Structure 1
Amino acid sequence: MRILLVGAGGVGDAIAKIAARRTFFEAIIVSDYDVSRAERTIAWIKGKHGDEIASRFSAVAIDASDPDAVAAVARENGATHVMNAVEPKFVPTIFAGALAAGADYLDMAMSLSEPHPTDPYAKTGVKLGDDQFAQRGDWETAGRLALVGMGVEPGLSDVFARYAADKLFSSIDELGTRDGANLVVRDSDGAEIFAPSFSIWTTIEECLNPPVIFEKDVGWFTTEPFSEPEIFEFPEGIGPVECVNVEHEEVLLMPRWIDAKRVTFKYGLGEEFIGILRTLHQLGLDSTTPVTVRSANGPVEVAPRDVVAAALPDPATIGPRMTGKTCAGVWVTGRGQDGEPREVYLYHVSDNEWTMREYESQCVVWQTALNPVIALELLATGVWSGLGVLGPEAFDAEPYLELMARAESEGGYGQRWGLSDRL
């Protein structure tokens, strides 16, 4: 397996660092528009693991906005798999480039949505991933696999949902992804500051778009942003967090392969974060449409959202100033395999202190990066296989979770996952 890793930002950097401890691949080509970022990642691997391990990694420049450029880099480096680790706005070009190069493809966020033109808070328009699923016939004809939504959420959450459907429940009322954390970022003086732990570009996209809900008797429909607040109790010391509806891929993926009456995604944002997002929207600073800004060098075209992203700390750099844990998981209700009512929360917790100590990666990006590496290993060993455009739910969850939890000394990843009975 030869992997073209597109993007050496926070998540791409962590993917390479996690993979450096594994032996399932021949080579990883770390690519970025700024090749120095890819080189920095490889230098870290060399310093941590030595020349022999680092020799399996190489750095190249890439233009992720150009499908021909992506295809050319993939071909030149003999890539069998293209791992997309950049903003979701680049999904269409990397997706097309991988197919043109005859490579399999993985991503952690899917092609973007477009709200319904006249009734955005009741009806769906173009849904997340619609553009990719529309091309599944092309991938099947080419004999290639596109594994989409294979991060933590979506990704591990979908694996948990598959496991619950196969091993824990005879019927499912709701699959509810619930994400919460007790993370705090402080400045050099120790004061708490606003510094999102993940890409603000992506966060704005998913939080301000109309959230999508699935109900079996209705199908997919939308609601107002930040609707249906609820207090959810997160494990391992995180505690109660208010969660609200947010647009996310799980709601679009899970119903395609799993029989459930209702599918939701709720995110623990907090009042301050919601207030900031609403203000950005009111000021038009969430827009991706370029506006003209007059400068000393003349007029410049710039998208307001890109300005917001540039003004905030890079999520990849805030780890040393962050404390706490983040939790990703799926709350499942329905009937257990004995026919009795059952309610469980399947989850994984990532501790920033540990991820910084082991990988110098903050816990949110590290937790996201872990899952595509596990998936790539299962594909490399033939445990997972498939053709077309598939989500994580299309595969057997048990070997994934077993490999994830098995100790590193025994060939696994050493990442314990939890199952909390809530009834």
Structure 2
Amino acid sequence: MRILLVGAGGVGTAAVRIAARRDFFDHMVVADYDPERARAAVGSVGDSRFVAARVDASDEAAVRELLAGHRCDVLLNATDPRFVMPLFRAALDGGSHYLDMAMSLSRPHPERPYEECGVKLGDEQFALDEEWRDRGRLALVGIGVEPGLSDVFARYAADELFDEIEEIGVRDGADLVVDGYAFAPSFSIWTMIEECLNPPVVYEADRPAGRKWFTTEPFSEPEIFDFPEGIGPLECVNVEHEEVLLIPRHVEARRVTFKYGLGSEVIGTLRTLHRLGLDRTDPVAVGPVEVAPRDVVAACLPDPATLGERMRGRTCAGTWVKGSRAGTPRELYLYHVVDNQWSMSEYGSQAVVWQTAVNPVIALELMAEKVWGGAGVLGPEALPPGPFLDRLASYGAPWGMREHRS
């Protein structure tokens, strides 16, 4: 397998460090708009299979040229969601397979944003499903940790642990602390603003056709969820996320939600950014230049990839499932916890980016071995979950399961 990895930030660099310990591929091009970042990622592993390159992720022709020049079989997108569609189209036109960890952006309903969906996450990608099928290529979308591993958990629960499922709820929480910063997100603030301030989406199977996905106010339906391995109880709220759009395509459940343990301080900060218009992506004039306010916010905050040495604690991603087995009610939480001290000592990458990056690397390995495959635009819940979960332990961070405690 020959891979083009676009994006050498925290997640891309972690993917390089994880992949360097595996032997399923022959060649990986690590490309970034900033060539120094690409070279640093490659230099961190000292492996001749990796080469650095410069590319503008928005330039489809340049991406296709890089794919062809290095005879790459697959494009792994490790950029932020703004670049999903140009990279997605470049892979399609270039004849390669494609993976990403976040899907094409949504647009709220113009009149009823907190009731009805407008353009949903991933709609632009799924619109090209037939073209991917016709070309016999796989676009595996949303194969990070959330979405990604959380979808694998949902499919595994449906296949192996439940006969009927009432609700699937992805629940994300952490006890991470970044010393020296009052506010320092552990992943891209651009992405955090996008997913947390957009109207959250909920799926309910019993609603009328065409209305099964609907929206609510940001940070709605707060609940206390007790996270495992010492993280403890956190307040979780509805957030827009891909799993709600992906899981119902291949897993039967009456309700699907995504809730994030943000905490009151983060929610307050995000609301303030929104009130001040600092979440906007359209440029505003600042003297002789134009700049998007959200880009200014991102530039003022530390790069999440650089926070590992200051960070302590654990991050947990998981899928809570409520239903029945053999007529008996049950609730389970399937989860994955990564301790920042472990990920830093083992890989030199902070916990959140490592936990995200390990999943596309496993998926690539399963694709190289023909264990995972297919054609068209598919999410992780469309593929056999057992081989993925079995492989996760061999990467040093096994998953867990517990009877749910409210």
Band of TM-score, shorter chain: over 0.9
Work out whether 1:357 is the aligned partner of 2:345: yes
After superposition, where does 1:13-412 map in structure 2 within 5 Å? 13-46=13-46, 54-187=47-180, 192-218=181-207, 219-294=212-287, 299-336=288-325, 338-405=326-393, 412=394
Once structures 1 and 2 are overlaid, which stretch shifts more, 60-69 or 128-137?
60-69
- Describe the superposition over 1:391-420 as per-residue Cα deviations: whole angstroms up to 9, x where unpaired: 001100011101112xxxxxx223211010
1-structure distance, mates of 2:256, 2:348: 35
Q: CA separation in 1, counterparts of 2:98 and 2:242?
A: 17
How far apart, CA to CA, are the structure 1 residues paired with 2:121 and 2:85? 12
CA RMSD between the two structures: 0.7
Give the C-alpha shift of residue 128 in structure 1: 0.1
Work out the CA distance in 2 between the residues paired with 1:339 and 1:371: 34
Match of 1:419? 401
Alpha-carbon distance between aligned partners in 1 of 2:200 and 2:137, rounded to the nearest angstrom: 31
- 1:238-261 CA-to-partner distances (Å, cap 9, x unmatched) read 000100000000000000000000
Give how far 1:388 is off.
Answer: 0.2
Cα deviation for residue 193 of structure 1 reads: 2.1
- Which residue does 2:8 correspond to in 1? 8
* Equivalenced residues, count: 401
Q: Secondary structure at the match of 1:371?
A: helix
Q: Please report how far the alpha carbon of residue 359 of structure 1 lies from its aligned counterpart in structure 2 after TM superposition.
A: 1.0
Task: Point out where structure 1 has 5 or more consecutive residues left out of the alignment.
Answer: 47-53, 406-411
| Local SS of the residue matching 1:309 | helix
Task: Give the unaligned 5+ runs of structure 2.
Answer: none
User: Which secondary structure does the structure 2 equivalent of 1:236 belong to?
Assistant: coil
Q: Distance in 2 between matches of 1:246 and 1:240?
A: 18
3-state SS, counterpart of residue 45 of structure 2? helix
Matched residues in 2 for 1:38 and 1:359: separation? 17
How big is the shift at 1:360?
A: 1.0
- TM-score if structure 1 supplies the norm length? 0.94
**Which SS does the other structure have where 1:45 is aligned?**
coil
Deviation string 1:96-155 (CA, Å, 9 cap, x unpaired) is 011111000000000000000000000000000000000000100111100000000000
The CA deviation at 1:68 is: 1.2
Q: In 1, Cα distance between the equivalents of 2:14 and 2:94?
A: 25
1:207 positional shift: 0.1
Runs of 4+ in structure 1 off by over 4 angstroms are none
Using the alignment, how far apart are the partners of 1:360 and 1:393 within structure 2?
30
Distance in 2 between residues matched to 1:73 and 1:106, nearest whole Å: 16
Aligned sequence identity (%): 65
**CA–CA separation in structure 2 for the residues paired with 1:308 and 1:396:** 40
Tell me by how many angstroms 1:422 deviates.
2.0
Do the aligned partners of 2:338 and 2:397 also contact (CA within 8 Å) in 1?
A: no
Amino acid at match of 1:414: G
